[in-house]
A = this chain, B = another copy of it.
Amino acid sequence: MFTADEMLHHWRGHRALTRRTIERFPDEHLFTFTPGAPLRTFGEMMLETVRMVAPSLHGVESGKWDFTQIDTSDVHEKAVLLHLWDEADALIEARWPHLTRDALRGVVPPLPHLTALPYLVENEIHHRGQGFVYLRLLGIEPPAFYER
Query: Which A residues are within 8 Å of any B CB, using their own CB?
Result: 1-4, 6-7, 10, 13, 35-36, 38-39, 101, 104-105, 108, 111, 113-115, 118-119, 122-123, 125-130, 132-133, 136-137, 145-146, 148
Which residue of chain B has the shortest Cβ distance to A127 in the bound complex? B129
Is A118 within 8 A of B3, CB to CB?
no
CB proximity of A110 to chain B, nearest CB, Å = 9
Q: Which residues of B contact A3 (CB under 8 A)?
A: 1
Which residue of chain B has the shortest Cβ distance to A108 in the bound complex? B146
Q: Which residues of B contact A113 (CB under 8 A)?
A: 13, 148
Is B137 within 8 A of A36, CB to CB?
yes
A108–B133 CA distance with the chains assembled, in angstroms: 25
**Pairs across A and B, CB under 8 Å, 5 listed:** A1-B2, A10-B118, A35-B133, A38-B136, A114-B146
